[in-house]
Amino acid sequence: MAQVTVLTAVYNAEKYLSQCLDSLKDQTLKDCQFICIDDCSTDHSYEILRKYAEADSRFQLLRTPANSGQAKARNLGLQFAQGKYIAMLDADDWFAPDTLELACRSLQDSEAQCAVLQLIQHYEKEGREELYPIKSSKTEWSGEEAFRLSLDWSLHGLYVVTADIHKQFPFDDSCRLFSDDNTTRLHYLHSNKVVLSQGRYYYRKHAASMTNACTIRRFDYMLANLSMKRQLEALPLDNKQAILDFYETDRWLNVVGCYWYYYQHQSAFTPDEQKEIEALFTRMLPTIEEQRVAPKVKRKFGYYIFKDYSTFRRMENLYFSLRKIWQKIKWNI
Q: From residue 250, how far is each of 17, 151, 263, 313 by CA, in Å?
A: 35, 7, 20, 19
The H or E element containing residue 79 is none
Q: Are residues 175 and 240 in the same domain?
A: no
Domain boundary among 211, 239, 259: 211
Backbone angles phi and psi of 69, in degrees to 5: 95, 160
Domain boundary among 211, 243, 262: 211
Model pLDDT, residue 84 = 98
The pTM of this model reads 0.92
Q: From residue 109, how far is each of 189, 211, 311 by CA, in Å?
A: 20, 35, 55
Domain with residue 145: its CATH number is 3.90.550.10
Q: Which residues have C-beta within 8 Å of that of residue 120, sequence separation ≥ 6? A: 129, 130, 131, 132, 200, 201, 202, 203
Q: Give the span between the Cα atoms of 127 and 19, in whole angstroms.
A: 16
Domain boundary among 211, 245, 268: 211
- Give the three-state DSSP class for 277: helix
Q: Are residues 13 and 147 in the same domain?
A: yes
> pLDDT tens-digit profile of 173-227?
988 788 889 999 999 999 999 999 999 999 999 765 555 568 999 999 999 999 9
Q: Are residues 122 and 86 in the same domain?
A: yes
Q: Are residues 120 and 247 in the same domain?
A: no
pLDDT of 11 higher than 90: yes
Q: Are residues 251 and 134 in the same domain?
A: no
CB 215 within 8 A of CB 256: no
Domain region containing 309: 214-332
